[in-house]
Amino acid sequence: MSVGAPKIPVVVAEVVAVNDLIKRFRFVRRDGGAMPVFSGGAHVVVEMDDHGTRRMNPYSLMSHPADSAGFEISVRRDEAGRGGSLYMHNHVRVGMEMVLSQPVNLFPLDARAKKHLLIAGGIGITPFVAQMAQLQAMGGRFELHYSVRSPALGAYVDRLRDHYGPRVHVYHDEFGEKIDLATLLKSQPLGTHVYVCGPKGMIAWVHATARAMGWPDRAVHSEEFLAPPVGQAFEVQLAASGKSITVQPNQSLLEAIEAAGIEAPYLCRGGACGQCETDVLRCDGIIEHNDHWLTDDQKASNTKIMPCVSRFRGAALILDR
């Protein structure tokens, strides 16, 4: 059984510096054909050939979901990361050919909600840009609360205010402005769903506050893609393929498996979707489970690993791949 959908060969049509940290990229199909339409909250995986190293990073789509002329993403420059965002910022130019995955949505709106309360921090605004466009078109009721560092780093604030007027609320850290979450959550009509996308701390804050105020867990939604962390190099034996590989410090296990020419399933490459889940046949050491997918029990038992973000320290790791 395979879930593979054909990848989308694209050319970069536009690169815009949104502010000092964020660039926006627009992709159109190389053959001039139509892109698939998508649902707000979907992401694509962008494949990069970073001077011989293959990188595949997920980015939320922020163009209008019904716009089949092209896809847009925004990328925040991460100086400390493994280099995907730096590659996008420093090397990707208009006219370059790249490859995208089909859109996949791990952060969908709950279509039954009486109201959608959207809470964004920084670059976490991107899925909401697409979701608001979709909600607007369908007459959905929503409100955005968007926290940014400063007016200069408030990506898309003007555009969102123009489109959605008083439904957009912006908070500037620089001026000491903070979302009054308790008041906000207290006054929502029954049937409201809250969505949060932003830094880890913000996501945890929204979940904890909502739970403490009696919101059901299923009315609270979040998306956080993890960048695969860097670490020590380690050896892995792949039993099904009969190969031994070395995972380099700034390479993920999934990338190392792919670099060895072995097909492995994936969708999000950020520890969220579960698609790359792999059975561990032997583990003499410690698996650094960095994913959001496996349960705590599964993590403790060391019988499964998510190769997109997790690493290993120890004597021997054998996987059923």
- The stretch among 45-53, 69-77, 105-113, 145-153 that binds another protein (CB under 8 A) is 105-113
Q: Which listed residue (114, 159, 200, 282) binds another protein by CB under 8 A?
A: 114
- Residue 260, C-beta contacts closer than 8 angstroms, at least 6 positions apart: 238, 241, 243, 245
Cα dihedral 202, 205, 206, 212, rounded to 10, equals 180
The yes or no reply on residue 80 touching another protein (CB under 8 A) is no
Residue placing its CB nearer to another protein in the complex, 134 or 251:
134
Query: Alpha-carbon torsion 310, 315, 319, 321, what sign?
Result: positive
Where in 258-317 is the site for another protein (CB under 8 A)?
267, 273-275
Q: Which listed residue (86, 219, 230, 260) binds another protein by CB under 8 A?
A: 219
- Give the Cβ contact number of residue 204 at 10 Å: 13
Q: Which listed residue (102, 209, 237, 250) binds another protein by CB under 8 A?
A: 102
In whole angstroms, the minimum distance from the beta carbon of 46 to another protein comes to 16
Token pair belonging to 81 = 């990361």
In the stretch 225-264, what mask flags binding to another protein with x, by CB under 8 A? ----------------------------------------
- DSSP states along 219-254: GEEE--PPPPPP---EEEEETTTTEEEEE-TTS-HH
Question: CA distances (Å), 138 to each of 110, 143, 282, in order?
Answer: 13, 15, 51
In whole angstroms, the minimum distance from the beta carbon of 37 to another protein comes to 5
The yes or no reply on residue 206 touching another protein (CB under 8 A) is no
Q: How far apart are CA 25 and CA 37, in angstroms?
A: 17
Residue placing its CB nearer to another protein in the complex, 87 or 107:
107
The yes or no reply on residue 215 touching another protein (CB under 8 A) is yes
Give the residue from 268, 313, 265 showing the smallest Cα distance to 289.
Answer: 313
The yes or no reply on residue 192 touching another protein (CB under 8 A) is yes
- Residue 259, C-beta contacts closer than 8 angstroms, at least 6 positions apart: 54, 245, 251
The yes or no reply on residue 2 touching another protein (CB under 8 A) is yes
Residue placing its CB nearer to another protein in the complex, 1 or 80:
1
Q: Which listed residue (213, 233, 315, 316) binds another protein by CB under 8 A?
A: 213
Q: What values do phi and psi take at 181, rounded to 5?
A: -65, -40
Q: Which listed residue (16, 17, 66, 286) binds another protein by CB under 8 A?
A: 66
- Residue 266, C-beta contacts closer than 8 angstroms, at least 6 positions apart: 45, 56, 254, 275, 276, 308
**Amino acid present at 24:** R
Residues that bind another protein (CB under 8 A): 1-6, 36-39, 42, 65-66, 102-105, 108, 110-114, 134, 137-138, 185-192, 211-216, 218-219, 267, 273-275
